[in-house]
A and B are shown apart, each in its own frame.
Chain A
Amino acid sequence: MSGTTLDDYTGRYASRVHGMAQSEIRALFSVASRPEVVSLAGGNPYTAALPMDELGEMFTRLLQQDGAAALGYCPGQGSTALREALCGVMDLSGVRASADDLVLTNGAQQGLDLLARTFLDPGDIVLAEGPTYVGALGVFQAAQADVRHLPMDDDGLIPAGLEESLAGLKKEGRQAKFLYTVPTYQNPAGVTLSEERREEILAIAERHGLLIIEDDPYSMISFEGAPPAPLRARVERGVIYLGTVSKIFAAGLRLGWVLAPPAVRDKLLLAVEAAILCPSALIQEAALRFFTEMEWRQQVKVFATLYRDRRDALLAALTDYMPGSMSWTKPGGGLFVWATLPDGLDSKAMLPRALQERVAYVPGTGFYADGNGRSQMRLNFSTQSSESIREGVRRLAGVVAGDIELRDTFAGGSA
């Protein structure tokens, strides 16, 4: 009998799926969901803080009053009333938009995917922060794009780094298709692009004719006053804006939107129709009622207050337990802290030992397309209680101390 690869379709796959493979990280994370493990690895909003009884009543009313329509197809662009409501949501951040310019998607993730389908050919260059959102990397990699990371610091993307990258590309005779950025409470780094830099980045983009895709899921989850206004609030041209209800209402609804100039919007609309015919009418109706019938801004405050307390617990525990050679960001909002390990430690190699100590995090390598991030990790503070977070960090600190000892034992390269 000749050999088998247990895959009869090997020769038939599209080239874009060749790089897709399960890694051992996936196996490690299957343990992270066990109740014994304090998982700082998640990215879930704390949906248990939603008023379930009230939502239950709302869904019941929805079905009683509009059930037939909500359970049918709807236009590809989705409900006008919801798009108007979402314009009201964006207006609070200073983003002015017309309902006509919104395309509703299955989460902002689908918005990203549709943008990639619309703009990217294999080999095209995409600029992104380093580190960047892992879900965006998945989309860009599936589109066979060449992701080039740009440097960041505590004030977000460094304008000189963008300038340098664009100049380098020009020398190569190439052009980036767009810059993908999460300027506010970035995932995974937790940093926010400063007011001054926002203007600088926009000026550079304007000068080079660079399109910006601004992903803005976190700006309402703010702990210390409003963050700088989104890029799209400052300019109407040159920025495509991605929004989502995931952090302000519920991630499980899978409802996001793209705010794009009319020409792009029309292409996205065709892409939505090709992909899913139309967004879920039921989910749209639920979101519309959330934004029009419920105290949704109060709910956002509930989330933000909860996460602020948990962020404080995480930062305090890091200060109390971690060695001085470790550093981390101090986010003013969002869901994540980005920590940098002491020199010579590898967050990916350390993960099995962390899991053995019943604590989980996401190794930094997942947030880079180029293999960087080995010395970093993402820590989430939205899903666990403050007490659990503290216990998780205490466990993690023991693992870090063990790895420092191991590093010192084997330091110096060759045997």
Chain B
Amino acid sequence: MSNASAPRSDRRVLILAGGMSYEHEVSLKSGRRAAAALARRGIECEIRDPDSELLPALQEFPPDVVLPLVHGAPGEDGSLRGLLELTDIPFVGTGAVGARRAWNKSTAKDLLRTAGIPTPDWVTMPRQAFSDFGAHKLLDRISTRMGLPLVVKPNSGGSGLGVHAVRKEDDFPSAMMGCFSYSDEALIESFVDGRDIAVGVIDLGDGPVALPPVEIAPLQGDYDYAARYNPGATRWTVPAALEAGTAERIAEIAVAVHETLGLRDFSRVDVMVDDAGDIQVLEASVAPGTTETSLLPMAIEAAGLDFGEALATMVRLALARG
């Protein structure tokens, strides 16, 4: 554990939540839940929705530490974190560079593959490429080369928005259009038939450690927005029922992802595990949700830790980093 000094009661902690992305509401919920958890640990927080007044406000009345919980852009794409770095106000979580790496799914996959971490085959194509080279020719080549089924997802973004499975070629047009509703770049990835596992990684001062893995099983259909945010729509099992060797390997991989992408304090790594126990990393998030249906707090509690205490420790560490 850290030897960072305990926060004084007059410390100002500013939680940034909301933002301009489609995950606005989820982020506000994350912010409120984190604020309540920290309040129970004696740390009072102010929650602010970042807007054009944020920078002057930070300069005029700088908080001691910031906890950015804005999902989507600009919270996770590096811009908000870059802004915080410009102010020299310490903040909890990954810095701008790491955030940018994780945000761009294909960049992240490229780094992971180079580091020897398994991730499904993929191709990334900007929207413009489909009109320049002919959508049908391009999609035909992609499906011939990669085989079906495939998953089409925005190259950046979260909460399952704009993600569509392509099980037959006819599914392509609407999947592509749905994807381009959320991003100008599509990530087309081989579908992995297996179990959906999310692993939280936290660093409470002694280096990143993997939390117990959470298995995600939507009761109906895909793990889409509705399945994520309607209590009762998904069964989460923590720790996931996995062979001991598989669980260990997942933990090692999750920590390796966290380190390879240069993430800090906490992250969530999403993997798929097939019947043979093979593990494939899908993506990592630098601002995982902390709502009542989010995986990170669930995993923290499953590890025998208190969510508020873990956050408080990360706040202390950020203060000590300065």
Interface residues of A (CB under 8 A from B): 1-7, 10, 21-24, 26-28, 30-31, 34-36, 346, 349-353, 355, 403, 405-415
Chain B contact residue count (CB 8 A cutoff): 52
Complex Cα–Cα for A351 and B136 (A): 25
Q: How far is the CA of A63 from the CA of B142 in the complex (A)?
A: 72
Contacts of A5 in B (CB 8 A): 219, 231-236
The verdict on B12 contacting chain A, using a C-beta distance below 8 Å, is: no
In the bound complex, do residue A1 and residue B172 qualify as a contact, i.e. CB atoms below 8 Å apart? no
Known contacts A23-B225, A352-B181: does B237 contact A2 (CB below 8 Å)? yes
Q: How far is the CB of A367 from chain B (nearest CB, A)?
A: 19
Residues from chain B with Cβ under 8 Å of A21 in the complex: 226, 230, 233
- Apart from A27-B23, A414-B172, A415-B140, list 10 A-B contacts with CB within 8 A: A3-B215, A5-B231, A5-B235, A7-B231, A34-B24, A36-B51, A352-B182, A409-B135, A415-B136, A415-B139
Chain A, Cβ-Cβ closest to B137: A415
Closest to B226 in A: A21
Whole-angstrom distance between the Cβ of A328 and the nearest chain B Cβ: 22
B135 touches A349 (CB 8 A): no
Q: Give chain A residues whose Cβ lies under 8 Å from the Cβ of B28.
A: 30
Per-residue interface assignment for chain B, residues 221 to 242, with 1 indicating a CB less than 8 Å from any chain A CB and 0 otherwise: 0001110011111111111000
> A24 contacts which of B143, B225, B231 (Cβ < 8 Å)?
B225
Does B131 contact A409, Cβ atoms closer than 8 Å? yes
Question: How far is A30 from B19 in the complex, measured between Cα atoms in Å?
Answer: 10
Within the complex, what minimum Cβ distance (angstroms) separates B227 from chain A?
9
Query: 9 closest Cβ contacts across the A-B interface?
Result: A415-B139, A7-B232, A30-B25, A3-B237, A24-B225, A7-B231, A410-B173, A3-B235, A414-B169
* Residues 213-262 (chain B) with a chain A CB within 8 angstroms: 215, 217, 219, 224-226, 229-239
Residues in A neighbouring B226, C-beta threshold 8 A = 21-24
Is residue B159 within 8 Å, beta carbon to beta carbon, of the partner chain?
yes
Once the chains bind, are A28 and B170 in contact (CB under 8 Å)?
no
A sample of 16 inter-chain contacts (CB < 8 A) reads A1-B302, A22-B226, A24-B159, A24-B224, A27-B24, A27-B25, A28-B22, A34-B51, A36-B20, A349-B178, A351-B181, A405-B131, A410-B172, A413-B173, A414-B172, A415-B140
> Which of A2, A35, A351, A411 contacts B173, CB < 8 Å?
A411
Q: Is B292 in contact with A6, judged by CB distance below 8 angstroms?
A: yes
Which of B177, B232, B233 has a CB less than 8 Å from the CB of A346? Answer: B177
Interchain CB contact (< 8 A) of A10 among B23, B172, B182, B232: B232
Residue of A nearest to B217 (CB): A3
Q: State whether the Cβ of B97 lies closer than 8 Å to any Cβ in chain A.
A: no
